[in-house]
Structure 1
């Protein structure tokens, strides 16, 4: 799997990477379900992935799980009454949002 865009998270279309971070933060479901292009689906157990993330950050000396702009509260730029007509939302999350150092900023 490479060059895949995250299209949905737990059934919700992703608008941008900040929207994805918000959805993950607000998720109380047992599983995190990421839907990608080409019908690829990744399912992670929420509590296990949170624990693993903390260990990975510590083991590799990563100071924060995301950049400062993604830690700010998410503000939905689209009015709730306005439908998303686009198949991938406003700005799909793709590996174009991976920095040159190879870290995902989510």
Structure 2
């Protein structure tokens, strides 16, 4: 159940990458943006979704897990866009301590790198 929740969250925020990419290519910044700016809901059954850019990257689409088993509730999954290449990478972070999630909870769609 925990792994399927993480996998669903990764897929849910991945759906915003194309709209995020188009907006960035048009010069949009996401300093005070909301998920609706890229066609996502701010809160879903799986996530609280936020957007940002800065911190040496060109953008992040982040999900804090909701309604999940204790092992993953409050954990973060995010897609991070590289400013130079435009490549997206997936990362995870446990609820506490900034460590990555245990790999048994992370599906093949995410490399399970600790993220901020």
Normalised to the residue count of structure 1, the TM-score between the two structures is 0.29
TM-score normalised according to structure 2 size:
0.28
Q: When you count helix as a share of all residues, which structure comes out higher? A: 1
Relative to its length, the structure with more strand (as a share) is 2
Q: Compare relative contact order (CA 8 Å, sep 6+) and give the higher one, 1 or 2.
A: 1
Larger radius of gyration: 1
